Amino acid sequence: MRDHTKLRAFELADEVALLTYKVTANFPREEQFGLTSQMRRAAVSVPSNIVEGCGRDSTADYVRFLDIAFGSLRELEYQVSLATRLGFASGESELPNKLIETSKVLGALIRSLRKPKA
C-alpha cells in the first residue's frame, strides 16, 4: 500500500478540487445540474482515483487508477475553458494554472511508473 498523502500529485489534485468548488459556487443557478455538477464530479474524481490507486497492491492497478485520474483532469481542463468562455468563471482564477501544474506532476508520476526497471 502506498501513502497518497506523500504524493505531490495528490496534494495538487486536492487543491484543484477545492478551487473548483470555489470557482463554481458563483455559477448561474441554472447550471447547478449542468456544468457545475460536471466540473465538481471531475474535480473530485482526480484525487479520489489517486487515493484508490494507492490502495491497490499491483503497480499495474495503481497506474490504471492514475490514468483515470489524468483523464478526469483533462476533462476538467476543458470544462474550465468552456466556463471561462461562457463568462461563468473569471479568467483571473488560479485554477487553470493549478490544472497545468497538476497535469505535469501527475503525468510525470505515470511515466515514471511505466518506465521499464533496469
Query: What does the pLDDT look like over 51-68, one tens digit per residue?
Result: 999 999 999 999 999 999
How far is CA 36 from its chain centroid?
15
Say which residue the cell 478540487 belongs to.
17
Read off the C-alpha cell for 45: 474524481
pTM above 0.85, yes or no: yes
Class of domain 4-114: mainly alpha
Q: What pLDDT, in 10s, does the model give residues 36-52?
A: 999 999 999 999 999 99
pLDDT tier, 109 (very low <50, low <70, confident <90, very high otherwise)? very high
Other residues' Cβ atoms within 10 Å of the Cβ of residue 111:
10
Does residue 118 surpass a pLDDT of 70?
no
Hey, where are the domains in the chain? 4-114
